[in-house]
Amino acid sequence: MRKKMSRKSYYRRYCVLLALLMAPAVTCLGQSDTDWPGWRGLSKQGQSEPDGPTTWSEDSNVAWKTSLPGQGHSSPVVVGDDIIVTAAYSVVHGQNRQTGIYILLVLTLLLVASIAPYILRYYRSELRQKKGQFRSMLMFCLLIGSLLYVLALLCLDISNTDHRSHFAAWLQSFMLVGIGIAVVIMGLPDRSRYRIILGVLVMALVAPLILLRPSPEYYGLRTISYHLPATYLSIAMLMSIGSASLIGAFLRRRKSENGSNQQVNTDDSKQSLLSLAAFLLAFLFAFACGFLGPWIVLNRIPGWLWNPNINRETLVAVGCCLSIALWCLMQVFSKRLPPVRPHRLFSPGVLTMVVLCLLVANYVGWKESYVRAILCVDRTTGAIKWQREGLAGPKATTHLDNSPASPTPVIHRGKVYAYFGTPGLMCTDMQGNLLWSDSNLSFEGIHGVASSLVADNDHIIVTSTNAKAPYVTALHAETGARLWTVKLAEWSGIHGEHSTPLIAYLNDTKVLLNWCKRRLAATEVSSGRELWSFQTEGNFRGEAVATIIQKDNTVYLPSRGDFAAIDISAMASGGSAREIWRTNMRGKGPVTSSPVLHKGLIFMVSDWSYASCLSAGSGELLWQEKLSRDAYYASPIVMGDNVYFFNRSGLATVIACESTFRQVGQNAIPGDIYATPAPVDGRLYIRTTTGLWCIE
């Protein structure tokens, strides 16, 4: 006779059976509806159903705020009671190079202070009565001021390690050497051979300035970019110093020889015309290199007058060129220019300082050692629960607006996966214990890595679409073993692609949709086999950073120029994709941020703060408005029936999800926002450059 089952045993077996039945569903869904497990919530594509806050400030509707160490633009991801973010920080905090420049600045100030007795002695009658002494002293002080100005700028910017700061330091350090040589030349007699040697030397500096410049593929002499005017002005300054020194030495040497032979120049007007011609020749050359050079190469000189790319680097170069222009005027046009010799050690000291500044600013500390970290923050209190460091190594080259920890991590099956580009990928459990890591996932791009991870079943997918050797690879979620790798076609240039792929179902087949170089490709997740691809037409310009969006059998392709909708339903059966519509965004489409689809409307924002709304069905541009004056890098998100836009300076604009523009609210918190916030359970988790905020 069968023994009757107790109620406790019955419920135990019932729970086991229920767990077995629910396992496939849990595997497919991955996380609960209240979680935000990866980039834009992964399958949520930037949408959260509960309504969110529409009003907040630094002091109101803030549940908590927490400071975060290091640098990072990765978005927060939320599962259960945990919030995961990534960061990277230097183990020496950039102090080697910065300390060296500060020491050189102090020594330069001491050296300048040592000439104070000489300047005070100038006011004695015997010095002031010398012909031309006033002009020499005035020019000497102007050059010393320019020298200290450029050196102070190096001290202010030297802590940054992005490629733009590196190139700015390169130009400014060569300007510093040029000004230092001009100061030394002022202390040499007219007939000194060292004046000619230094003139030739400063002109020869143009060769290393051009040939050894950092990132030459990006900072080309024929590339339309913000660096071009400053580059040409630096070249013009060095060439002007050298040519004016040589011409001035030649003219005054002839005058000196004529004076020693007591010969009177019978044609003063001819001599004056010769001096004036030499002066004009030197400055026409400087003007041609500094201002006409970009026009000759690029044929767009009118744009430099109002182009926003005329930035501080260019203004510094213009200021230095104006000082050197006056110096060249005196070198070439003055009949007599007495040397300025404060003391015997001054000229060697100036030369030593500027050369050391050149070496320290460009060859010390640019490849600092960085540590990458995963941080877990308590969702209720904001306290940091644990911090796992790893993947130590040099910092990769990044854009000024990028960071060494920009890819958003993903939480999958109770594990955290964080990708940092070339340094590699780390996997930990939810308690912060390191399970495995992979440091063989190279990404070499001038702007750094930004594409985030995606996960499905046993696959953790990494996208490395740089110009040289691009690839997509899948790692085993448990062991980190390489499951498959797809090599993509290379392209010319040095710009990479940063669009995060999307996992979608197409006729019961799970595919990875990857948007790269105007080409949409579908790869089978399980095997890495490419199923089909579609080459887009139209004006899809710029780097692909924004993520595509998918609804049923329609894929929406964003770009700065055109925005298109593609029907992919026929691709699975061997047919071809069909373009449903394509809309010209007038150059105001998204570049960095990703669009979001809600209630048949597509919302997006450009880097230049223009928000737009398209009809998902027809592609009609319903409205386009400028939100603020700052840049937008965070992607818009939807909470309830509102869409949220976050600019770089911390301003959030809330817009109603409607076909007409209606602003619901505008709020600000301190700190720059690059990361896309995570909307979970009616709360906003906003990461700034300094910390993490919980808005309720």
**Is the pTM here over 0.85, yes or no?**
no
Which pLDDT score, from 0 to 100, does residue 275 have?
44
Q: Average the pLDDT over each of 104-118, 260-274, 470-484, 502-516 and give the range with the smallest value.
A: 260-274
Please state the three-class secondary structure of 322-391 as a single string. Answer: HHHHHHHHHHHHCCCCCCCCCCCCHHHHHHHHHHHHHHHHHHCCCCCEEEEEEEEEECCCCCEEEEEEEE
Which pLDDT score, from 0 to 100, does residue 256 have?
52
Does position 301 have pLDDT exceeding 50, yes or no? Answer: no
Contact 203, 196 (CB under 8 A): no
Amino acid at 46: G
Contact 396, 404 (CB under 8 A): yes
Assign residue 562 a region (left: φ > 0; alpha: ψ between -120 and 50; beta: otherwise). Answer: beta
What distance in Å separates the CA atoms of residue 439 and residue 457, rounded to the nearest whole number?
22
Which pLDDT score, from 0 to 100, does residue 34 have?
76
Does position 174 have pLDDT exceeding 80, yes or no? Answer: yes
What distance in Å separates the CA atoms of residue 85 and residue 68, rounded to the nearest whole number?
9
Average pLDDT for residues 393-410, to the nearest whole number? 85
Which pLDDT score, from 0 to 100, does residue 302 have?
40
Burial 610-646 (b: 16+ CB within 10 A, else e): bbbbbbbeebebbebeebbeebbbbbbbbbbebbbbb
Interstrand relation of 415-419 and 410-412 (parallel, antiparallel or unpaired): antiparallel
Supply 336's token pair. 């007599």
Contact 535, 588 (CB under 8 A): no
Rounded to the nearest 10 degrees, how much is the dihedral formed by the CA atoms of 115, 120, 126, 128?
A: 100
Contact 613, 625 (CB under 8 A): no
Reported as a single tens digit per residue, the pLDDT across 19-75 is: 433 433 333 334 455 789 999 998 899 999 889 999 999 989 999 999 999 889 999
Reported as a single tens digit per residue, the pLDDT across 566-589 is: 998 877 666 777 889 999 998 899
Average pLDDT for residues 166-193, to the nearest whole number? 85
Average pLDDT for residues 188-196, to the nearest whole number? 79
Mean pLDDT for all residues in the chain: 79
Phi, psi angle pair for 8, to nearest 5°: -65, -45
Reported as a single tens digit per residue, the pLDDT across 331-374 is: 766 666 677 777 788 888 888 888 888 888 887 765 667 899 99
Query: 3-class DSSP state for residue 36?
Result: strand
Which pLDDT score, from 0 to 100, does residue 278 have?
45
689 burial type by CB count under 10 A (0-12 exposed, 13-18 middle, 19+ buried): middle
Cα–Cα distances in angstroms (integers) from residue 36 to residues 44, 285, 394, 400, 696, in the given order? 8, 60, 31, 28, 16
pLDDT band at 292 (very low <50, low <70, confident <90, very high): very low
One DSSP character per residue, 57-110 reads -SSSSEEEEEE--SB--PPPEEETTEEEEEEEEESSTTHHHHHHHHHHHHHHHH
Supply 304's token pair. 């430099």
Give the angle 103-107-109 at the CA atoms, nearest 5°. 115
Supply 473's token pair. 């690879």
Of all helices (H) and strands (E), which one includes residue 464? strand 459-464
**Taking the mean position of all CA atoms in its chain, how far away is CA 274?**
50
32-91+368-695 has which fold?
Methylamine Dehydrogenase; Chain H (2.130.10)
Rounded to the nearest 10 degrees, how much is the dihedral formed by the CA atoms of 268, 270, 275, 276?
A: 110
What distance in Å separates the CA atoms of residue 135 and residue 579, rounded to the nearest whole number?
72
What distance in Å separates the CA atoms of residue 672 and residue 633, rounded to the nearest whole number?
10
Burial 219-251 (b: 16+ CB within 10 A, else e): bbeeeeebbbbbbbbbbbbbbbbbbbbbbbbbb
Bridge partners for 497 per DSSP = 465
Bridge partners for 484 per DSSP = 474
Reported as a single tens digit per residue, the pLDDT across 448-494 is: 888 899 999 899 999 988 777 888 999 999 999 999 998 888 777 66
Helices and strands of the chain, counted as H and E runs: 13, 33
Per-domain boundaries in the chain = 32-91+368-695, 95-363
Helix H segments across 187-267? Answer: 193-204, 206-211, 228-260
Which pLDDT score, from 0 to 100, does residue 287 have?
46
Q: What percent of the chain has pLDDT over 90?
A: 34
Residue of 612, 505, 497, 583 whose CA lies nearest to 547: 497
